[in-house]
Amino acid sequence: MAPKKKGKLIDWADDDHFSKDRSIFHIEHTTECPIFQVKADECLTFFQQRIPEREFQLIRNKNGKQVPREGAFEVRVSQNARTSEHLLWSGLNRGPPRRDKFPRYETLVSDVHRVLKKFYADKVVDLDEEEEDM
């Protein structure tokens, strides 16, 4: 069983914490092995660096309210805490080996852009523009 973290969990959808500029990564991951937690952190860090014009927050296992499925690693994204979640990756039926459970984050970038553009077209850099700059 994973150790419980001390401190109050934040409800990003409540009026005190809500921001339409904060997108949410919802990751369901098993706690059977620490690598699943590491990969969830890596996912958030990758997108924070890749799309710096957006603020991202990671919510794991519905803030501890969801018992993760065995071998689960699923990545969902929402425009903000009050919008629907969009499935980007499911590793449920993948592996062994365990490395197949995790996505290559680069392959998810276009899907994240697609989800964010639905509501924030003016705040998301177009992938074509980004490739021209490189």
Domain of residue 71 covers 22-133
Phi, psi (deg, nearest 5) at residue 40: -65, -45
66 within a domain of the structure (yes/no): yes
Residue 8 has pLDDT above 80, yes or no: no
Rounded to the nearest integer, the mean pLDDT of the chain is 83
Angstrom distance (rounded) from CA 119 to CA 45: 23
The per-residue pLDDT for range 73-84, each reduced to its tens digit, is 999 999 888 888
2 within a domain of the structure (yes/no): no
Locus of tokens 């964010």: 116
Residue 107 has pLDDT above 70, yes or no: yes
The model carries a pTM of 0.78
Residues 89 and 74: beta-carbon distance below 8 Å: yes
Can you give the pLDDT at residue 120?
55
40 within a domain of the structure (yes/no): yes
CATH number, residue 125 = 3.40.30.10
Residues 51 and 112: beta-carbon distance below 8 Å: yes
The total of structural domains in the chain comes to: 1
Burial of 96 (0-12, 13-18, 19+ CB in 10 A): exposed
